[in-house]
Chain A
Amino acid sequence: MRALRPLGTVGGLLLFWQLAVWLTGVPPYILPGPLAVGQALVGRASLLAGHAGITLTEILLGFALGSLAGALAALLLVASRHARRWLMPVLVMSQALPVFALAPLLVLWLGFGLGSKIAMAVLIIFFPVTLTFFDGLRRTETGWLELARVMGAGPSAMLWQIRLPASLPALGSGLRVAAAVAPIGAVVGEWVGSSGGLGFLMLHANARMQVDLMFAALAILAVMAVGLWWTVDRVMAALVRWQPDTYQNPR
């Protein structure tokens, strides 16, 4: 029943959309109804699947590499005072640049293929993961750390046995943000310069007034983004089952 609730909301919106299209008589090259989009989804399935595969690869690789790089950067910041002093300002400055502005450069350097899109996604994902994970690693309950010190724990035991597990909820927040923005990175990269992918397909469909195909690509993109977010959300929730969720009844 709970799983059906969002479907009900979406179904209601689709119904409203279809009715609005029928009642206003808006031409399909401006706004096609959901039925027309559905027809495009089915009719152009093989075309869409090919491009969707490219975009999905970009999203997944970008998410994996970006999260990994972000997590490693956070560990480096925790491990070394020098890294904190020299690296942190650079990290913050790198985010002051609009990353989208870098997209043409990335295409110039890395070409029209997967590389530039993955680099784009990594650039967007990297920072939220680093920041949240680093915050989680720093804000460890001091009582735990002092207890560990009295017990004779070394710095690495404190990091791996106490700081790291204690920071998993914060890392989870970072990864959820990363999962939500990874598709943006991939699609922006495709818009700037590419030879395939849903973003590429959308640009071409738009230019040819095939708005139904554009919506179909958008729907697939939405499903992939939600799917990635949902998977990350479930995995992180399973990893930090010990953390009480104040919006749910305990157990």
Chain B
Amino acid sequence: MAISTVSSRPDPLRAAAPVPGPELALTVPSLRFDGQPLFQDLHLTLPAGRWTCLLGPSGVGKTTLLRLIAGLEPGGQLRVDGRAGPAAVAFMAQQDLLLPWLSVRDNVLLGHRLRGMPRGERSALAEQAEELLARVGLAGYAQARPATLSGGMRQRVALARTLMEQRPIVLMDEPFSALDAVTRHRLQDLAAELLAGRTVLLVTHHPLEALRLGHRVWVLAGRPVRLEGPIRPDGQIPRDPAAPALLRLQARLMDELLASAEATEPA
């Protein structure tokens, strides 16, 4: 894994280069929510270096599942490549969560700042952060304040910040939902390219997004939650949304989602 052992300076391209993602297995023995069993003996495996997508009606528990993996919610057991223990993850949410008082570059370096890296070492990483900003199409915006950027640009900064963490597992909770159709399409392409090789969990409520990006697409349904599927669309990601096979899958997925919504809604 450690490729650059010789150079003492951080390689500006290293952050963008693929970080091989491990296989991640989550087991939830029992989790209750509002007195109701939400999960019961639930198993979810994220295959190594692949995109796994979770679909389902609002409130079914997609986000809770992601939070269990992130360690933000107690009650899940994780195995990374077969070994028990917490997972080194990076996290990207629907809100960009940029800190308005920091510049774009300092936001990209936020993880290092929070882990107490001294200012001097951080400034050595600045070049790497700017390289990542260039990769997401924001060259020249390093000194800008988040408030001066559009929603799509801000979410691209969030993507750069996620990449800067160099974690082998990336968790994304509806990261493109608040964006317009064109921006969303471009960001999906960009994420697929830049996160290649990592183990990715994408929670989404867009069937087409799941089919464009997912190697495995699960539908969550019922109380306690069942995982239905997975659907495994063919071909490289990001897939062409106009491909007939994808559109057929979308129709099938829509049916499953409707059934899931009926199974999940209280009687």
Identify the A interface with B (CB < 8 A).
Answer: 141, 143-144, 146-154, 157-158, 161-162, 165-166, 168, 240, 242-244, 250-251
Contact = CB atoms under 8 A, between A and B. Distances in A.
A243 B93 contact: no
Interface string B80-124: 000000000111010101011100000000110111100000000
13 contacts: A144-B99, A146-B70, A146-B72, A149-B71, A151-B115, A154-B116, A157-B113, A157-B114, A161-B113, A161-B114, A165-B101, A242-B147, A250-B147
A167 B89 CA distance: 28
Interface of B: 70-72, 89-91, 93, 95, 97, 99-101, 110-111, 113-116, 145, 147-148, 165
A242 B145 contact: yes
Contacts of B89: 150
Nearest to A165: B101
A147 B93 contact: yes
Interface pairs A-B: 6 shortest CB-CB: A153-B114, A151-B111, A242-B100, A150-B91, A242-B101, A157-B114
A147 B101 contact: no
B99 A150 contact: no
A147 B97 contact: yes
Contact of B147 (A148, A154, A166, A244): A244
Given A150-B72, A244-B147, A165 B99 contact: yes
Nearest to B99: A144
Interface centre among B89, B91, B99, by most chain A C-beta atoms within 10 angstroms, is: B99
A153 B111 CA distance: 8
Contacts of A240: 101
B214 to A, nearest CB: 22
Contact of B115 (A141, A152, A244, A250): A152
Contact of B71 (A141, A148, A150, A166): A150
Main secondary structure of the interface of B (DSSP, over half): loop
B114 A152 contact: yes
Given A144-B97, A144-B99, A242-B100, A150 B70 contact: yes
Contacts of A242: 100-101, 145, 147
Contacts of A153: 114-115
A144 to B, nearest CB: 6
Interface centre among B89, B91, B165, by most chain A C-beta atoms within 10 angstroms, is: B91
A99 B165 CA distance: 52
A141 B110 CA distance: 16
Contact of B116 (A141, A150, A157, A244): A157
A150 B148 CA distance: 26
Nearest to B90: A150
A148 B114 contact: yes
B167 to A, nearest CB: 9
A103 B72 CA distance: 51
Contacts of A154: 116
A152 B111 contact: yes
Nearest to B148: A251
Interface centre among B72, B101, B148, by most chain A C-beta atoms within 10 angstroms, is: B101
Contacts of A144: 97, 99
